[in-house]
Chain A
Amino acid sequence: MNKSDWKILLVDDEHEFITTLAERLELRGINARVVFDGESALLAVAEAEPHVMILDVLMPGIKGLEVLERVKRTSPNVQVLLLTGHGSTRDGIEGMRLGAFDYMMKPLNIDTLIEKMESAIDYAGKAAKLGR
């Protein structure tokens, strides 16, 4: 799959951070939809399942791990990359147990992020072929 065909959903309440990240992805030919809270993330997934959701763990309202759980229940094919901080590394590990593909600590390295998105999409493709 070409990068331009990837469907990416970015979820973080840090507006400046996440919209700038979306701009940088766009410059690399990757289109990403941005939402700023867990409720909007659930609606966005229900509207159009993304291939990969980049999800901040600590947000006001519905927390990242709850969003992850609910998304995995309704849309198990969506691959989730969690964004954690120093204080939420444990959440990242818990997230993996709940079905997250991986987690990354902020600040991000954009090349590593894209590599992880690619791996997540590859994994989803292979899992779909195996009928998981």
Chain B
Amino acid sequence: MRDALFMGRLTAQATHEMQNILATIRESSGLMEDLLALDGEGFAHTERFKKSLAVLSAQVERGMVLSEQLNFCAHSPEASPAGAEVDAALHALVGLFQRTAARCRVSLALTPGRTALRTALRSVEVMSLAGLALDCALPLLPRGAALTLAASEQEGVAVVRLDAPGHEALRERPEYADLAGFAKALGVGLGPGPNGLGLELSLPRVTAQGA
């Protein structure tokens, strides 16, 4: 975990720099917009300029989201006596897994769950478990399929659920053994979801001492 903490520290510094870069791009493109609004009349390429500035603005927004997700990852190996917030960890993971899902032509979404649902695990462990589950599931799904991750509370325990494909098919995947071993090492329950579809991970609860 020391390695992960160190990499996290470096990543956190890098995301801070990314924010400064994005802030500078936003101000510079904003200044161009301002000047265009003031003196743009008669300028032959106003519309093309505006289009380019809109692209810049959209890319800054995209960079902000990515930077926020990376910053979450950077801090994810840190232990907290209050435990990790499950929904926040899944939110960052789903954001960063979009490209992987898109490569498999699958749309990946997180069902909005109860916020402040916590587990004794670190965020990085929640993300790794859910990431391994996605690695098992994504190659099995047909093009155009939708895959959903969700977090819910069952009898005081945080449960992460993946809704597809069939559990038996998941078990055949080589990554499933990794997932099962990792889950066991962390004290996480692993089993099929409702109707034998997908899988469920029952995360250890925060103990009274930790809370």
**Stretch of A35-43, A45-53, A66-74, A102-110 contacting B (4+ beta carbons < 8 Å):** A102-110
A residues near B98, Cβ cutoff 8 Å:
none
Q: How far is the CA of A23 from the CA of B20 in the complex (A)?
A: 17
A residues near B60, Cβ cutoff 8 Å:
107
Q: Is B54 an interface residue (CB 8 A)?
A: no
Contact A106 B34 (CB under 8 A): no
B residues near A107, Cβ cutoff 8 Å:
19, 22-23, 25-27, 60, 64
A residues near B67, Cβ cutoff 8 Å:
86
Cβ 8 A contact of B16, one of A16, A21, A27, A85: A85
B residues near A17, Cβ cutoff 8 Å:
20, 23-24, 27
A residues near B24, Cβ cutoff 8 Å:
14, 16-17, 20
Q: How far is the CA of A85 from the CA of B70 in the complex (A)?
A: 13
Question: Which of B30, B34, B38, B75 lies at the interface centre, i.e. has the most chain A CB atoms within 10 A of its CB?
Answer: B30
Q: What's the interface size class on A, roughly? A: 10 to 19
Mask, B53-80, CB within 8 Å of A = 1, is 0000000100010011001001100000
Closest residue on chain A to residue B26 by CB atoms: A107
B residues near A87, Cβ cutoff 8 Å:
12-13, 15-16, 71, 74-75
B residues near A88, Cβ cutoff 8 Å:
16
Cβ 8 A contact of B27, one of A85, A86, A105, A108: A108
Q: Report the number of A-B residue pairs with Cβ-Cβ less than 8 Å.
A: 63
B residues near A110, Cβ cutoff 8 Å:
27, 30
Closest residue on chain B to residue A89 by CB atoms: B71
Q: Is A58 an interface residue (CB 8 A)?
A: yes
Closest residue on chain B to residue A110 by CB atoms: B30
**Chain B positions 1-29 with a Cβ under 8 Å from a chain A Cβ:** 12-13, 15-16, 19-20, 22-28
A residues near B27, Cβ cutoff 8 Å:
16-17, 20-21, 24, 107-108, 110
Closest residue on chain B to residue A18 by CB atoms: B27
A residues near B102, Cβ cutoff 8 Å:
none
Contact B19 A85 (CB under 8 A): yes
Contacts A24-B34, A106-B19, A107-B60; A86 near B28 (Cβ below 8 A):
no
13 contacts between A and B (CB under 8 A): A17-B27, A20-B30, A20-B31, A24-B30, A86-B16, A86-B19, A86-B67, A87-B16, A106-B19, A106-B20, A107-B27, A107-B60, A108-B23
